[in-house]
Amino acid sequence: MDKIIRGVHEFQGHPFSEKESLFSELASGQSPRSLFVTCSDSRVVPNLVTQTNPGELFVIRNAGNLVPKYEQDQPTSEAATIEYAVNALKVPNIIICGHSRCGAMGGLLALDQLDALPVVQSLLSKETAADRVREKNPNASAEDLLKYTIQENVLVQIENLKTHPCVTAAIDEGRLSLHGWVYQFETGDVFIHSDRSSSFASVRESGEAFA
């Protein structure tokens, strides 16, 4: 804990004073460019990866970067946050960002080994990415299964996003785009899903421009 408190003291020195005018501007409101949905994993740091400032990313984090399907009678914190981002803040983009070596996706591939984590086991047992990947790649190695499950899970969550009425309405109005990413923290690379090629390509190689 000491290191964290020391960090707060350090932040209140130079890093805060450097952005003091930005923080005072943000006191009057926020207008983030994206809702960024990613994993709780400590190795994923959204503002670092995207080199964005306070005020630019509205963030949802949970284990496995999951978006529950919309259910009218069962509101979730994720659904409420999505609705606020899309209808109140009017974000033009939603990014679902999975990441390499995701423990939650490893768990999804080994649900029977999660008896000590019954809540995680129960939550992940509703997720379909691993089954889809096993069906499509019956002979894949364990490493490839994890990689493909991380990617497939991003696509499943994009499908789930489209069950939220606020998301489909905003897409129909032409004011919202959905994006699937996988961040590889060991190399710093980001792989972006292309609907055209139905595959993930390195942002380094594709030179992807992002509005």
Positions in the binding site for Zn ion (CB under 5 A): 39, 41, 102, 104
The helix (H) or strand (E) run that includes residue 167 is helix 165-172
Nearer to Zn ion, 44 or 161 (CB): 44
Least Å distance between CB 66 and Zn ion?
10
Least Å distance between CB 40 and Zn ion?
7
Least Å distance between CB 156 and Zn ion?
14
Least Å distance between CB 166 and Zn ion?
26
Nearer to Zn ion, 35 or 102 (CB): 102
Nearer to Zn ion, 3 or 126 (CB): 126
Distance between CA atoms of 198 and 93, rounded to whole angstroms?
19
CA 139 to chain centre: 28
Nearer to Zn ion, 33 or 153 (CB): 153
Least Å distance between CB 13 and Zn ion?
32
CA 193 to chain centre: 13
Burial of 103 (0-12, 13-18, 19+ CB in 10 A): middle
| Selection from 91, 128, 108, 93 nearest residue 39 by Cα | 108
CA 39 to chain centre: 6
| Selection from 178, 134, 131, 187 nearest residue 157 by Cα | 178
Q: Please report how many Cα atoms fall inside a 13 Å half-sphere around the Cα of residue 209, on the Cβ side.
A: 1
Nearer to Zn ion, 84 or 185 (CB): 185
